[in-house]
Amino acid sequence: MKGIIITLSILFSLPLLNAQKGAHSKTVNDLDINRLAGYWYQIAQLPAEDGKQLKNVCIKFGKKDKEHIQRDVIGYNDKGSKVKVKNNLTYLGSGMFNDDEEGDMFVILSVDSKYQNMLIGSTDMQSLWVVSRTKEMSPKTYKKLLAKADALNYDVADVQLVSQK
C-alpha cells in the first residue's frame, strides 16, 4: 500500500515540477520553422577554418515545404566583392538541419520566443553563429547566447564579432 501511495504522489507531482521549470520557454524541440523564415544578420561567429570571413552577412531562410528550407547567404569578402551562397536544408527535427549539398549538419542551439535572436552551431562543434533579426544585438543578449554556447561546450573564447553596416 505504501508503494502505491508513493507512486501516485510522484505521478501527480510531475506536472507541477514541469510547470515550475518554465514550460513557456522556447526550446529547439518546439522550433517553428515557419517563424524561422526571413532575414537574419550575423552578429558573431567562430572564425572559418581557412581564415576567410565574410562581412555584412545576411542570411535568408525561406520555407520550401514541410521538411525543407532554402538558405541564401549574402556577404562580402575582404576585397569587397559580394558573395552569394544558396543551398537547401532538410529539417531533421529538434532544431537540426542537414545541408543537402555539403552534407554539413547544424543545430539551432537557442532561439528566443519572439524569434529575434538565435544561436546556431555545427554538430561537429567547429562552427558557431550568433544571429539577429536586426543588425545590432544588446550586450546582455549577446552574453547570454555565448554563455549558452559555453555551457554546451563550444569554444567561445575564439568567437569574433563581425562587421554589420
Q: What is the pLDDT of residues 45-93, one digit of tens each?
A: 998 776 667 888 999 999 888 889 999 999 998 888 999 999 999 999 8
Number of H helices, E strands in the chain: 3, 9
127-156 b/e with 16+ CB inside 10 Å = b?
bbbbbbeeeebeeebbeebbebbeeeebeb
Stretch 106-128: mean pLDDT: 93
* Percent of all residues in the chain with a pLDDT value above 70, rounded to a whole number: 81
Quickly list H helices, the chain: 2-20, 33-36, 139-151
| Cα 36 from chain centroid (whole Å) | 10
Q: Check residues 102 and 28 and name the one with the higher pLDDT.
A: 102
| Residue in 137, 158, 69, 140 with CA at minimum distance from that of residue 108 | 69
2 within some domain:
no
Q: What is the pLDDT of residues 30-45, one digit of tens each?
A: 788 889 999 999 999 9
| Residue in 62, 16, 18, 57 with CA at minimum distance from that of residue 36 | 62
124 within some domain:
yes
Domain of 149, CATH number, reads 2.40.128.20
User: What pLDDT band is residue 143 in, cutting at 50, 70 and 90?
Assistant: very high
Mean pLDDT (the chain) is: 81
122 within some domain:
yes
115: containing domain: 26-161
pTM to 2 decimal places: 0.79
C-alpha cell at 17: 515540477
What's the total number of domains in the chain? Answer: 1
